[in-house]
């Protein structure tokens, strides 16, 4: 049998196989191996090239290549046709009257929601946002803020020490020192971030929580301006009808100092939401600001406390349990 006859026989066999082209993936692959595999019928024809006369090889090679391209093309078209038919069957079998699959949609954590709202309120009255280190030296976390070594806040029961002279910050107030060391006044910043306290965990306290520190320094800053800014913030956060009071307090880095409470009608009592005051001149002296020229106020608030009051959450631990039943409410 001549090479042309062998090529014709393989072509006829392949076309006969196409008429009964399988839909099963295993049988499709068997058909591919039979004709196009390394030891398939087309490859066997190529192996006979060595026995063909030299003057006939060019024509023989052309015929064999045409056969290979034809078989390859028809095989791929048949595979694509099978795939289309299967996809059509799957589409045709779908019942579009059935309800769709309810895909759960994630939500923003209530802490992040509250933090974002706080930032937006203060940005609207001219504050910029700054961030700082969560691990800091004792100087920036304590001493520069007029918290000397004898102060109770320096005790190991309140502070996580990473190593000698390195602590997990106990407040975001450490960043106000970094800001004043690196920038000339006037400055107006809020500083959001995580803080750490070595406290017993209960429904109202946790070893990790979030704070927003505020700092405004300029030549004519007054306590009245501080009250006006915080009154605006509280009413934006809790509504115009909220009852607010400022009461005297003490913080080493502000003088005079105050705490801000709002009235909780559910508990029928005042609830503290933040501390504030005029920046202590000793802090200005530490960072090299002339306290006879520059004045400022600072404030700090706990985001968990504000979120608990805003959303009527009774236990701070809910924020950290990742309970989907709790998070879905937000």
Which of 92, 124, 159 corresponds to the end of one domain?
Answer: 92
Indicate if 305 and 191 belong to the same structural domain: yes
* Residue that wins the pLDDT comparison between 227 and 157: 227
Distance between CA 288 and CA 198 in Å, rounded?
32
Of 12-26, 197-211, 279-293, highest mean pLDDT: 279-293
Indicate if 43 and 123 belong to the same structural domain: no
The verdict on residue 98 lying in a domain is no
The verdict on residue 267 lying in a domain is yes
Q: What is the side-by-side order of every strand in the sheet holding 208-218?
A: 128-129, 187-196, 208-218, 295-302, 269-279, 254-264, 244-251
The verdict on residue 140 lying in a domain is yes
Indicate if 124 and 58 belong to the same structural domain: no
DSSP 8-state class, residue 196: E
Q: How many domains does the chain have?
A: 2
Indicate if 55 and 192 belong to the same structural domain: no
Q: How far is CA 108 from CA 121, 145, 198, 210, 249, in A?
A: 18, 34, 28, 16, 35
CA–chain centroid gap for 74, Å, is 50
Strands 244-251 and 208-218: unpaired
Indicate if 35 and 153 belong to the same structural domain: no
DSSP 8-state class, residue 186: P
Indicate if 152 and 280 belong to the same structural domain: yes
* Closest by CA position to 310, among listed 228, 237, 201: 237
* Residue that wins the pLDDT comparison between 92 and 220: 220
Structure tokens at 157: 């029961």
What pLDDT does 153 receive? Answer: 67
Indicate if 172 and 43 belong to the same structural domain: no
- In the predicted model, what is the mean pLDDT of residues 42-50? 80
* Closest by CA position to 262, among listed 230, 222, 293: 230
- Residue 59 in 3-state DSSP? helix
DSSP 8-state class, residue 173: T
The verdict on residue 104 lying in a domain is no
The verdict on residue 65 lying in a domain is yes
- H or E segment at 315? none
Indicate if 77 and 128 belong to the same structural domain: no
What pLDDT does 203 receive? Answer: 82
| Domain enclosing residue 73, as ranges | 3-92
CA–chain centroid gap for 156, Å, is 33
Structure tokens at 198: 């070595």
What pLDDT does 201 receive? Answer: 85
The verdict on residue 105 lying in a domain is no
- In the predicted model, what is the mean pLDDT of residues 93-112? 82
First to last CA, the chain: 81
Q: Are the beta carbons of 160 and 138 closer than 8 angstroms?
A: no
pLDDT tens digits for range 232-274 = 999 999 999 999 999 999 999 999 999 999 998 888 899 999 9
Instruction: Write phi, then psi, for 210 (nearest 5 degrees).
Output: -115, 140
**Is the pTM of the predicted complex or chain greater than 0.85?**
no
What pLDDT does 135 receive? Answer: 96
Angle at 108 between CA 104 and CA 109, to 5 degrees: 110
pLDDT tens digits for range 277-294 = 999 999 999 999 999 999
Indicate if 66 and 158 belong to the same structural domain: no
Indicate if 207 and 300 belong to the same structural domain: yes
Indicate if 145 and 187 belong to the same structural domain: yes
Which of 92, 122, 148 corresponds to the end of one domain?
Answer: 92
Which of 92, 121, 152 corresponds to the end of one domain?
Answer: 92
* Residue that wins the pLDDT comparison between 144 and 91: 144
Question: Which residues lie below 8 Å from residue 47, measured CB to CB, with a gap of 6+?
Answer: none
The verdict on residue 224 lying in a domain is yes
What pLDDT does 34 receive? Answer: 83
The verdict on residue 22 lying in a domain is yes
Question: What CATH number should be reported for the domain holding residue 126?
Answer: 3.30.930.10
Indicate if 131 and 12 belong to the same structural domain: no
Q: What is the mean pLDDT of the chain?
A: 89
What pLDDT does 15 receive? Answer: 84
């Amino acid at each position: 049998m001549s090479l042309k006859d062998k090529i014709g026989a393989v072509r006829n066999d392949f076309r006969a196989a196409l008429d009964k082209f399988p839909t099963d993936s295993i049988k499709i692959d068997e058909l591919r191996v039979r004709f196009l595999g390394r030891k398939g019928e087309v490859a066997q024809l190529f192996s006979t090239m060595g026995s063909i006369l030299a003057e006939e090889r060019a024509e023989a090679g052309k015929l064999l290549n045409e056969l290979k391209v034809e078989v390859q093309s028809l095989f791929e078209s048949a595979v694509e046709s099978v795939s289309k038919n299967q996809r059509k069957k799957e589409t045709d079998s779908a019942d579009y009257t059935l309800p769709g699959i309810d895909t759960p949609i994630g939500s923003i954590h209530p802490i992040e929601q509250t933090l974002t709202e706080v930032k937006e309120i203060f940005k609207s009255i001219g504050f910029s946002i700054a961030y700082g280190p969560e691990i800091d030296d004792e100087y920036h976390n304590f001493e520069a803020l007029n918290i000397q070594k004898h102060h109770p806040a320096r005790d190991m029961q309140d502070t996580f020490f990473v190593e000698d002279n390195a602590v997990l910050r106990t407040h975001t107030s450490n960043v106000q020192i970094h800001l004043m060391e690196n920038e000339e006044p006037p400055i107006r910043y809020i500083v959001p971030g995580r803080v750490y306290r070595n406290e017993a965990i209960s429904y109202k306290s946790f070893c990790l929580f979030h704070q927003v520190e505020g700092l405004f320094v300029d030549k004519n800053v007054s306590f009245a301006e501080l009250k006006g800014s915080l009154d605006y913030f509280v009413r934006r956060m809790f509504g115009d009808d909220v009852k607010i009071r400022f009461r005297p307090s003490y913080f080493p880095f502000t003088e005079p100092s105050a705490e801000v409470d709002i009235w909780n009608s559910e508990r029928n009592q005042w609830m503290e939401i933040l501390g504030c005051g005029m920046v202590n001149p000793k802090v200005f002296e530490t960072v090299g600001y002339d306290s006879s020229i520059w004045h400022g106020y600072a404030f700090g608030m706990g985001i968990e406390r504000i979120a608990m009051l805003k959303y009527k959450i009774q236990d701070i631990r809910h924020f950290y349990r990742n309970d989907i039943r709790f998070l879905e409410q937000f």
